[in-house]
């Protein structure tokens, strides 16, 4: 899908017992092609994406990041990023749903002890779970109160990705006595869990997102993954990598949206579509204005993709450092991911808006579905504003200030 990405550093397989990176990229392209065939019609219908999740499950993409033996894909994080970008180019909402699934499941490796994470991920692979929820700070998060024999979860999370289709929820909760934020795993069919859709949203309508209410939901000690505190004494650099790792998926989602709309606009013009401009060039492919715009958007997207590649390499190197990762190295990695987020946001917004301009009035046809790219990009960037990342980058450049710990919505 989209513009061919630039060269990247070769990635070794995470587990030789699992399929290769090339296998997963081929599977992702096939799944993306399948989703692209009816993307516009499905987006217009706006149904809860149970069918789309089934397509991902049948392709094996839900288990991509879980341990290879006996049921998982055994792939590395960089492969998951490439898969999200491929899916997002075909369907941005499903790309977001898959990105949330990867982030929430993979975050267990940062937030809890290795044996416990392995058990949870192995179960996820065996049952082919789709993960939903979110760890980002929101107003008045649910509270986790200790009681004899365990804990109880009460409150509301105003937005949780994939909540309408999730087999397991991973959410943020706070202890009312200390205010400590925690990552908690919840069964969505438990008594007291009520999910609601975001009715009327104009973009990312198939991401399965919405609010979720918790009314005296029992939580065991095993359901508490770990702390989400930004306190340096409680969140050492290796664990804090959960932030740039998660935000890197936002970069891939934005790049996928930019590449996807350019690919569809290019195909439309090549197959006879043209802008409706009286007195314009006789042949759509000879329109100098369109050629200039496509050139500008191609450069913008490829530049953002190159910066994303640098950020991906930095995250990969930081992960390899393990316990030796310093706070300064973590800060540099986080800032580079922030740069990539801002660049990808601009690429997504510019491409999805200006592609409509060069297509012209015919882009208004609901049947063609070009508007969904703009609506999806705008919705995602409203939830994840690039201005926040630019401020962090500027503060680091000017004052050497380490960026605050932040998790994707």
What is residue 134's three-state secondary structure? strand
Residue 202 DSSP code: S
Among 68, 93, 65, smallest CA distance to 77 is for 65
What does DSSP say about strands 131-134 and 168-174: parallel, antiparallel, or unpaired? parallel
> Which residues lie across from 170 on neighbouring strands?
133, 185
The helix (run of H) or strand (run of E) holding residue 155 is strand 150-160
pLDDT digits (tens, 9 = 90+) for 18-44: 889 999 999 999 999 999 999 999 999
Among 316, 310, 377, 376, residue whose Cα is nearest residue 339: 310
For 322-370, where are the alpha helices, taking DSSP H only? 327-359
Residue-level pLDDT at 366:
77
d(CA 96, CA 376): 10
Residue 341 has pLDDT above 90, yes or no: yes
- Residue 288, token pair as written in the block: 């100098």
pLDDT at 271 over 90: no
Quote the tokens at residue 162: 């994939």
Single pTM value for the model = 0.92
| Angle at CA of residue 269, ends 264 and 272, nearest 5° | 125
Q: 70 falls in which pLDDT band (50, 70, 90)?
A: confident
Whose tokens are 């070769």? That residue is 10
The pLDDT, as a whole number, for residue 69 is 81
Residue 99 has pLDDT above 70, yes or no: yes
pLDDT value for 273: 61
Which CA distances in Å does 159 have to 131, 133, 326?
14, 8, 33
Assigned token pair, 101? 């699934």
Domains and CATH numbers, the chain: 21-131 (1.10.540.10), 133-227 (2.40.110.10), 237-399 (1.20.140.10)
Average pLDDT, the chain: 89
């Amino acid at each position: 899908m989209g513009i061919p990405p630039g060269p990247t550093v070769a990635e070794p397989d995470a587990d030789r017992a699992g399929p290769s990176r090339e296998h997963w990229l081929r599977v992702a392209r096939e799944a993306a092609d399948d989703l692209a065939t009816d993307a516009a019609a499905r987006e217009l219908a706006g149904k809860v994406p149970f069918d789309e999740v089934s397509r991902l499950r049948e392709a094996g993409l839900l288990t991509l990041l879980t341990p290879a033996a006996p049921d998982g894909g055994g792939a590395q994080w960089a492969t998951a990023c490439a898969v999200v970008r491929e899916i997002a180019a075909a369907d941005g909402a499903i790309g977001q749903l898959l990105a949330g699934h990867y982030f929430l499941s993979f975050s267990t490796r940062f937030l809890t002890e290795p044996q416990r994470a392995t058990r949870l991920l192995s179960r996820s692979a065996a049952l082919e779970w789709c993960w939903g929820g979110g760890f980002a700070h929101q107003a008045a998060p649910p509270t986790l109160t200790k009681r004899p024999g365990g804990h109880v979860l009460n409150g509301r999370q105003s937005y949780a990705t994939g909540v309408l289709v999730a087999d397991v929820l991973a959410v943020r909760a706070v202890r009312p006595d200390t205010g400590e934020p925690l990552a908690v795993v919840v069964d969505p069919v438990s008594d007291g869990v009520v999910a609601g859709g975001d009715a009327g949203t104009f973009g990312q309508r198939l991401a399965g997102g919405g609010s979720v209410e918790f009314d005296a939901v029992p939580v065991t000690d095993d359901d508490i993954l770990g702390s989400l505190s930004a306190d340096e004494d409680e969140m050492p650099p290796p664990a804090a990598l959960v932030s740039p790792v998660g935000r890197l998926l936002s970069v891939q989602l934005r790049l996928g949206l930019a590449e996807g709309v350019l690919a569809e606009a290019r195909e439309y013009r090549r197959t006879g579509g043209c802008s409706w401009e009286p007195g314009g060039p006789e042949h759509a492919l000879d329109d100098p204005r369109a050629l200039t715009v496509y050139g500008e958007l191609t450069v913008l997207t490829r530049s953002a993709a190159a910066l994303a590649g640098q950020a991906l390499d930095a995250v990969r190197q930081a992960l390899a450092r393990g316990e030796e990762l310093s706070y300064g190295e973590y800060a540099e990695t986080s800032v580079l991911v922030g740069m990539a987020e801002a660049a990808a946001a601009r690429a997504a917004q510019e491409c999805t808006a200006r592609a409509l301009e060069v297509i012209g009035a015919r882009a208004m046809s609901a049947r063609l579905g070009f508007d969904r790219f703009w609506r999806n990009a705008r919705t995602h960037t409203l939830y994840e504003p690039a201005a926040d990342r630019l401020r962090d980058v500027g503060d680091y450049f000017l004052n050497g200030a380490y960026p605050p710990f932040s998790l994707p919505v």
